[in-house]
Structure formats: C-alpha cells, structure tokens
Amino acid sequence: MNYQNSYVRLDPRLYHRQPPTPLDNPKAGHFNSAVAARLEWDKDETLMARWVEILGGQYVPEDFSPLSMAYAGHQFGQWAGQLGDGRGLLMAQVLDNTGKLQDLHLKGSGLTPYSRMGDGRAVLRSTIREYLCGHALNNVGIASSDALGFVVSETPVRRERMEQGAALMRVADCHIRLGHIEWIASFAPDLLAEFTDYMIDTYYPECRQAANPVAEFLTQVVTRTAHMIADWQLIGFAHGVMNTDNLSITGSTLDFGPFGFMERFNPSWINNHSDHTGRYSYQNQPAIGHWNMNVWLPHFMRLPNIDRSTLADCLEPYETAFMTRYQQGLCRKLGLPFSRDSMVLAFEWLTLMEDYNLDYTNSFRALIGLIYKELLADQTASDSYAHEQQLLQILLAELNTAGTEATTEWQGWQTRYLNAIKAASTAEAPVPSLTEIVESMATANPVYILRNGMAQTAIEQATSGDFAEVDRLYQLLSSPYQVQPIATPADTQPPAPDAPMLPISCSS
C-alpha cells in the first residue's frame, strides 16, 4: 500500500502512540474484498495472509503507526470536555487506487488514555451493524466510512450481559471530527493555526486558491455537512447520535452507534433509546447539523481574518445547500423535474406516507410499478418491474385497509402525479421518455436497505459462529438498486403497521 502517515507527524499532544491490545484467539468474521482492492491491500501477500491477526491486534505491520486521537465534543447539546479514541486506533493512512487518502482505524483495539470508564472493546453485534451499514451507505451513494473487515474473538466483553469481543478495521477518508477543534480550543489553543493548515492542505487543498483559505475551508465543511444530511434524509437514514465528536470535517458519515434506516415513515422516529427528548430524531437531523456548525465555527475566530461577520458568511450557505440537495433529490425519486409544482406533489406524497404509516423505501419503489401499470404496460414486456408491481399491490392493499379516506387521497394524488409524469415526458425537447424516467427512478430509489430485522438475523446467526447471513447481506447490499435472486421476502418486509420501531442501544 501507498502509506501516507501524516497525522503522526503532528504535535504529540494531539494523540497517544500505542499498539493495540490483542484479542484472544481472533477468527475471521468477514473480509471486504472490494475495499481491499481499493486500498491495494490485496497486492501485499503478508497483509492478505495475516489480516485476521492484524484486525485482532496480534500483528502490527512495520509501516503502520498506531495512535489514539484526542478530541472533545458536545454530546446531546452539552459540553462533554475531553473525549478521544477510547477503543480505537488510527493504524495507518494510505492513498487508495484513486489517489485519495484513507484512514485505517481499528475499532475495539483495547484501552487508551481516552477510554474514561470504558473497557476499550467492541462487541460482535455492534461490529456487524457498523460493517453492514457502512457498506450499505456507500453502495447507495452516500459519503460514509466503510470497513476492510471484522474479526470475532474469545475475549469476553460485558455490556448488559457478557458478549463476544470483536474488532473492525474501519476505512474512512478522514477521522478528524468537529470535536478535534473543540479539544484544541480548550486544551491547546496554540495548535489551532497549525492544525487548520493541516486540515486544509490534507483534505481541502483547493481552498488555498481562495482569497481567504480558512473561510473557504469552513464554508466547504458547512456545505458538505448539509449535503450529507440531505442524503441521509432522502434515503431514510437516521444517525442517532449527531454529537460534535461524531461528525467528520469531510462531510462523510462516521461513527455508527444506534443508527437506523427508516421503515414505516415516521418523521419523528427516535432510533436511540437513550435519546429521551428526541434531539436526534430523523426530522431533527438537518437542524442539528446547523447547530453543530454554529457551535464549531466560533473557535476559528482566534485566527487572522476570521471575525463574526466572516463566520456568518461561512454558515449562511447551510440551509440553501441542504434544501436544494434535498428537494432536487426528492424530485429525482419521483421522476419529476425540479420545480415548485413537483415539490408540492413530493410533500403531498410524504404526508400521505406518514398519515397511513407506509413503508418509506417500498412506497417510493412502488411508484415505478404505478407508472408501468398506468402508462407503460402496453410498451414493455409483461414481466417488466414485477417486483415494483408487487410492491404497488401491497401499498394499495394497505391503503384499502386504512379506509375510504386513504384510498380517496391516494386516487387524487395518483392522478395528479401521473399527469405530471406524462407532462414531463411530453414537454419541449430535450425530454426524457417514460422509459427513461422509470430507469432514472430505479437509480434513485433502492430496492434494499439494511432493515433492523435483517441485521438482527445476521447477528443471531453470527453469534453461533455462522457468518453466511452476513455474507448474503453484504452481497445483497452491494447492488441495492437492483432486484436480486439472493433476496428473501424478509429483505423488503416492513414491520407490522402497529409494531413499534426498534430503538437501538448506544451500548457497543
């Protein structure tokens, strides 16, 4: 691999150098060959032969420079002081085969000076959830960490009960969090200028061309964060713990704890059972992103040419960046051009899904079946979009069960929507054909997400030593926009309408 271990050359107050603490008898859980190829890990015979030992902390390649990072943060809106890598190590930094910097971060690697009351370990259930979630988000096109693989061990780890210790090699474009700057501002303010230069030169070098590079850097972080959260909203993803120490400066999803993918549409859904006030509910994520930026930016006033007016200018693009990305994305999911009329239809559709507790992912995909049935059935093969036609029938059955008001609302919306689709395909040239509209919708609306039930089944089987279901879900989520023969009915089955949405514990 092409090693670029630059973080270790920064001021040593920012980290603690140490090797991982080995797990007992680590065994392979799953290996991500696609990530290995991207890192060119697969070209090194030693790395390939000893990957289980590396992830288990038993072997550290000579080109690795393991360290735990110091950072701070606001947790649930309150200043939490010094935090840091309490169970993880930045093992190495490498350039992937596209020339992009990637961090290799071992999670579950043992105690560090920042462990506080923790044990430095991770358990198998949360490791599997993070492994599959990063893979799922990357393959639906959302900026996110991924993972090289994970191992399970005989090391006992106590959470609510005794569980199997595990470790995951997370791969991310950056592990610098908003909380790094909060730590520097509180504990080492003399490092702010140097560290800001490092962030710009390493992750935002194009900002050096701006008249005020720091201001441009801050604006880019704000914009990327807004885009990331818009992408979460569009796919129905809820992070669950949007503390400042869990957000990356590159606008890439990081730190999977009590996350979840929306099943039946409920904007006020809270997926973290510790979030008693709903601060990090699905619908609050855009506002929390803005709050985090507003807390983070003032620390840079210590630098030359950065004042309150400048910071206000840096923060100002957040709302527009979020709304534009989100609204354009909603229109793409509906197969409509971006316009005021399209947005009216989009928000009517969201309201209908919320009012009648419809499955978020399946309902968008069912619209493909609707267009086929009403507008394309005489132009294409009879088995075209069979899955989507089945989803449409399920949707119609649920609306019929909900009663006359539901079916009346659906019929009115359906008529307006199909008229808009026909207008979009017959407007002045150049215009997409109906077939092109449907094909585009199929690339904007996944067939498969990582449902809680899917993840739980894989975890239960893995706990018994069987990782076949982890592998099946890995394969399934590698191509989430395509109907696949390896799928089972459970992969697209939402919970019962009256079933509560499963909250997830922070314990991992």
Rounded to whole angstroms, how far apart are CA atoms 171 and 387? 34
Whether 508 shows a pLDDT value over 70: the answer reads no
**320/388 same-domain check:** no
Question: Can you tell me whether residue 459 is helix, strand or coil?
Answer: helix
486-490 own/partner pairs: CB under 8 Å, 24+ apart: 487/447, 487/448, 490/451, 490/453, 490/454, 490/457
Q: What is the mean pLDDT of residues 55-68?
A: 98
Residue 453 belongs to domain spanning: 335-492
251 φψ region: left (φ > 0), alpha (ψ -120 to 50), beta (else): left
**220/319 same-domain check:** yes
Question: What are the structure tokens assigned to 96, written together?
Answer: 């992937």
pLDDT at 428: 72
Q: What is the mean pLDDT of residues 66-93?
A: 97
Rounded to whole angstroms, how far apart are CA atoms 154 and 272? 28
In a domain, 504, yes or no: no
Query: Which candidate, 315, 263, 313, places its Cα nearest to that of 455?
Result: 263
**219/363 same-domain check:** no
In a domain, 508, yes or no: no
φ, ψ (nearest 5 deg) of residue 467: -100, 15
Amino acid code (one letter) for 49? A
Rounded to whole angstroms, how far apart are CA atoms 136 and 130? 10
pLDDT at 472: 98
In a domain, 498, yes or no: no
In a domain, 374, yes or no: yes
Question: Can you tell me whether residue 468 is helix, strand or coil?
Answer: helix
**205/279 same-domain check:** yes
Question: Can you tell me whether residue 213 is helix, strand or coil?
Answer: helix
Q: Taking the CB of residue 63, how many other CB atoms lie within 10 A of it?
A: 14
- Per the prediction, the chain carries an average pLDDT of 96
Model's pTM, two decimal places? 0.96
Tokens 């036609």, residue located: 389
Amino acid code (one letter) for 416? R
Tokens 């930094």, residue located: 93
CB 208 within 8 A of CB 201: yes
pLDDT band at 291 (very low <50, low <70, confident <90, very high): very high
Q: What is the mean pLDDT of residues 287-309?
A: 98
- Catalytic residue set: 245
pLDDT at 469: 98
Question: What are the structure tokens assigned to 434, written together?
Answer: 């109906």
Amino acid code (one letter) for 258? P
Rounded to whole angstroms, how far apart are CA atoms 318 and 290? 7
CB 280 within 8 A of CB 270: yes
pLDDT per residue as tens digits for the range 427-462: 877 888 999 999 999 999 999 999 999 999 999 999
pLDDT per residue as tens digits for the range 270-286: 998 888 899 999 999 99
**171/187 same-domain check:** no
Q: Taking the CB of residue 205, how many other CB atoms lie within 10 A of it?
A: 11
**261/130 same-domain check:** no
Amino acid code (one letter) for 6? S
In a domain, 167, yes or no: yes
Residue that terminates a domain, selected from 114, 140, 175:
175
Lowest-confidence region among 66-75, 185-194, 218-227, 373-382: 373-382
Rounded to whole angstroms, how far apart are CA atoms 411 and 425? 21
Rounded to whole angstroms, how far apart are CA atoms 368 and 361? 12
CA 176 to chain centre: 16
Q: What is the mean pLDDT of residues 196-210?
A: 98
Residues above pLDDT 70, as percent of the chain: 98
**22/64 same-domain check:** yes
Cis, bond preceding 113 (omega within 30 deg of 0): no
As for how many domains the chain has, the answer is 3
**308/354 same-domain check:** no
pLDDT band at 384 (very low <50, low <70, confident <90, very high): confident
Whether 507 shows a pLDDT value over 70: the answer reads no
Residue that terminates a domain, selected from 129, 158, 175:
175
Whether 90 shows a pLDDT value over 70: the answer reads yes
In a domain, 67, yes or no: yes
Residue that terminates a domain, selected from 328, 351, 369:
328
**428/366 same-domain check:** yes
pLDDT per residue as tens digits for the range 337-353: 999 999 999 999 999 99
Rounded to whole angstroms, how far apart are CA atoms 159 and 204? 40
pLDDT per residue as tens digits for the range 114-157: 999 899 999 999 999 999 999 999 999 999 999 999 999 999 99
**132/183 same-domain check:** no
Whether 165 shows a pLDDT value over 80: the answer reads yes
In a domain, 55, yes or no: yes
Rounded to whole angstroms, how far apart are CA atoms 85 and 210? 33
Rounded to whole angstroms, how far apart are CA atoms 128 and 122? 10
pLDDT band at 376 (very low <50, low <70, confident <90, very high): confident
DSSP state of 122: E
Whether 498 shows a pLDDT value over 90: the answer reads no
Whether 377 shows a pLDDT value over 80: the answer reads no
Q: Taking the CB of residue 321, how many other CB atoms lie within 10 A of it?
A: 19
In a domain, 409, yes or no: yes
pLDDT per residue as tens digits for the range 357-374: 999 999 999 999 999 999
Q: Residues 6 or more apart from 408 whose CB is under 8 A from it? A: none
pLDDT at 105: 98
Rounded to whole angstroms, how far apart are CA atoms 147 and 124? 14
**8/153 same-domain check:** yes
Rounded to whole angstroms, how far apart are CA atoms 297 and 351? 35
Rounded to whole angstroms, how far apart are CA atoms 44 and 195? 33
Greatest CA span in the chain, whole angstroms? Answer: 70
**202/273 same-domain check:** yes
pLDDT at 431: 80
Whether 235 shows a pLDDT value over 80: the answer reads yes
pLDDT per residue as tens digits for the range 173-191: 999 999 999 999 999 999 9
